[in-house]
Amino acid sequence: MKNRSLTHNEFEEQLFQFKEKVGLLERRLSLKADEVVFTMAVSHRKQIDQLKDEVFQLREELKQVKKQQKNQLLDDVVRKQRTIV
């Protein structure tokens, strides 16, 4: 291996190329990070939508249970009144 000195112009050219490669790697890394963040955001949005749907379903079920309990209570009161009369 020969130890060769670079001229100033050769050094500048290699430094420029090195900076270009580093810049390209930085842009690729940034793009990949953006893709990861986007993918995670989409996934979280889907999870939020699923949880929201589940909450709405549970609310409806709770309304039905409350309605059934109210009707049962009214039926019990009516029966008791009929037995008293």
Q: What is the pLDDT of residues 6-41, one digit of tens each?
A: 899 999 999 999 999 999 999 999 999 999 999 999
Res 83: pLDDT: 85
pLDDT above 60 (res 1): no
Q: Helix or strand or coil: residue 30?
A: helix
Question: What gap in Å lies between CA 74 and CA 72, rounded to an integer?
Answer: 5
Q: What is the DSSP letter of 2?
A: -
pLDDT at 3 over 60: yes
First to last CA, the chain: 116
Q: State pTM to two decimals.
A: 0.60
The 8-class DSSP code of residue 5 comes to P
Structure tokens at 26: 């930085």
The answer to whether the CB of 6 falls within 8 A of the CB of 14 is yes
DSSP 8-class letter at 71: H
Give the tens place of pLDDT for each residue, 37-62. 999 999 999 999 999 999 999 999 99
